Amino acid sequence: MNDFDFDPLEPLPMRPEEEVEKEIWQPSWDCFCCRDSGKISPNLVRRVIPGYNYSRDRLPVCQNCNKGHDWFHLDDLGVIDTRLGPVICRKLDALAREDWRLTAQAWFEMVKQRVEKETGEIAQEHNLRRRDRISAEFILAKKKHELARGDWEEIKEKKDEDEEDQDEEEVAEE
């Protein structure tokens, strides 16, 4: 029998109640069994009580931390379930911690891959710009060479006014 296998318990019906499960990447709670609420998280309860129905069954109270004590006075009212003792709660705490660790790891991997992809794209973009700059410099160098050769007049005749202006700007940048 696996260390984290439990003897199944029967659900203890209570009264309907709804709760929205919040997703938080960085858990701020100390007790992973009940998230410091004193009530064992329903998904963890189902590891011990497979047929557990949060809307119907008694609330299993945490015995891994002292938060569960706040609920023990309700025992007489038949709304809490105290069968999940300290040993079970400690195991549930360990299970939840491992779940969080894996979730955080998967999240981290996803972010890392996205950053690497974006970094690669930026580098590629940078290389293209650099290549464009090199070809621009090559054209400019060729122009200078043409000027030095004295065939500037001949080139000028083939261009319109706009291109002439551009040429002047480029030469000015020397």
Nearer to Zn ion, 64 or 81 (CB): 64
For residue 91, count other CB atoms closer than 10 A to its CB: 20
Q: Specify the amino acid at residue 150.
A: G
Q: What is the rounded CA–CA span in Å between residue 107 and residue 114?
A: 11
The distance of Cα 81 from the centroid of its chain, to the nearest Å, equals 35
* Whether the Cβ atoms of residue 107 and residue 87 lie closer than 8 Å to each other: no
CB of 33 to Zn ion, least distance (A): 4
Half-sphere exposure of 87 (CA within 13 A, CB side): 6
Identify which of residues 66 and 132 has a Cβ nearer to Zn ion in the complex.
66
Nearest-approach distance from CB 48 to Zn ion, in angstroms: 14
Is the Cβ of residue 50 or residue 86 nearer to Zn ion in the bound state? Answer: 86
- Interacting residues toward Zn ion by CB under 5 A: 31, 33-34, 62, 64-65, 67
Measured from the CB atom, is 33 or 45 closer to Zn ion? 33
- Which stretches of 2-63 are assigned E, i.e. beta strand? 59-60
Can you tell me the distance from the alpha carbon of 110 to that of 61, in angstroms, rounded to the nearest whole number? 35
For residue 163, give both structure tokens: 């291109």
Shortest Å distance, C-beta 71 to Zn ion: 11
Minimum Å gap between C-beta 63 and Zn ion is 8
Cβ-based nearer residue to Zn ion, 14 or 84:
84
Min dist CB 43 to Zn ion, Å, is 14
